[in-house]
Structure 1
Amino acid sequence: MVVLFAAAGCASRAADNDGYSRLYEQGLRERAGATRVSDAAVERFVALYSPIDADYIDAHLDEVYAAEVYFNDTLATVYSREALKKHMLKTAKRLDYMSLDVQQQWRDGQDVFLRWIMETHFSIMGSQRQSRTIGISQLRFDDQGRVIFHQDFWDSSQGLDQHLPILGTVTRWLREHP
């Protein structure tokens, strides 16, 4: 599991020091969204993650995401629906359970924001782990109601990293010793 998370982190690393913010800003510039987004489009998005299920992803991801998309969940950055499907199917298979509980939704022009609590269950080295974390997803949709821009804002060190051998010990120590 540690190797998988490390590989995901390395795979999405940007080429320069300000890569994360640069990629986000570039995604915002390149993917203007529709200003009128239906409640049904947002509901389809939430259903994809609540709970996460490989069969459901395989059957419904094409309805939720456009073929070309900017997607960043802090663990991976991808630009196509096919790459996103591979990432999400791997994620669903690695986790025993994951679900988003949307606490609040607001819209600002072309942007839809969802504040959520994510609960995950997974095992590491034979030990069952549970994690609850908070985050916000910023979404933009096309005129057909499919996501073209998806940026998650959450602290993976609170949600997942703290449970990893070695890395978890380091991140917990850093939080306790500012």
Structure 2
Amino acid sequence: MKRLLWSMATVSLLAAAGCAHSPDSPGYSHLYEHALEQQRGVTPVPAGALERFIALYSPIDAHYLRAHLDEVYAERIYFNDTLATFYQRDELKAHMLKTAERLNDMRLRIRKIWRDDDDVFLQWIMETRFTVLGRERGSRTIGISQLRFNRQGQVIFHQDFWDSSQGLDQHLPIIGPVTRMLRQHP
């Protein structure tokens, strides 16, 4: 009974949150556009910067993150992975460490890299292994990261473009079945 009440309360909160977002509310696209104006990167990207970024995410590892995230990201940043937005490196570091601790494994495989002025784009495939309700599950998603670097070779702008419902959301209780059902319509 407790579980049913909890489930109903969660669904109600999610429905209310969904209704609270109107087409007029800016969402993260407004934050992205603002950051594009404010966070100008340098050209060319300093040597080794891109390699350090890629190494940080493949595989994701809490010990490696603690040791190297400060080299990869500047203190003041714009970071959005479609699930969270951060403006300070310490906030991102805490988030990434929690993520690393929750995952059994995560790897990025870079498929393509291209540059346009001060932007660097990485097309990737992300494979993750994680445990939900006592069962290990896997996820494979595609995405693109847009990066900008400062003169020291640190990331100052990081925007991910990916469909989280193809990755993590589909494995979550309550949300997962709804996400899978919505994806099945024509």
Deviation at 1:19, TM superposition (A): 2.0
Aligned-pair identity in percent equals 66
Q: What do residues 5-41 of structure 1 show as CA deviations (whole Å, max 9, x unaligned)?
A: x9xxx9xxx9x72221100001111100001103510
Larger Rg: 2
Q: 1:170 aligns with which of 160, 178, 181?
A: 178
Letter in 1 for 2:74: A
Q: Give 1:13-28 correspondences, 5 Å limit.
A: 17-28=25-36
1:62 aligns with 2:70: yes
- How many pairs were matched up? 168
Structure 2 alignment gaps of length 5 or more: 1-9
TM-align CA RMSD = 1.8
Q: TM-score under structure 2 normalisation?
A: 0.86
TM-score, structure 1 as length reference:
0.90
| Counterpart residue number, 1:41 | 49
User: What is the Cα deviation at residue 126 of structure 1?
Assistant: 0.1
Runs of 4+ in 1 over 2 A off after TM superposition: none
Distance 1:39 1:21 in 2: 30
In structure 1, the gaps of 5 or more residues are none
Candidates 105, 113, 117, aligned match of 2:121: 113
Tell me if the contact between 2:142 and 2:162 (Cα under 8 Å) persists in the aligned partners: yes
Which of residues 82, 85, 91 is equivalent to 2:99?
91
Residue identity opposite 2:137 in structure 1:
R
- Cα offsets for 1:74-126 (capped at 9, x unmatched): 11100000000000000000100001000000000000000000000000010
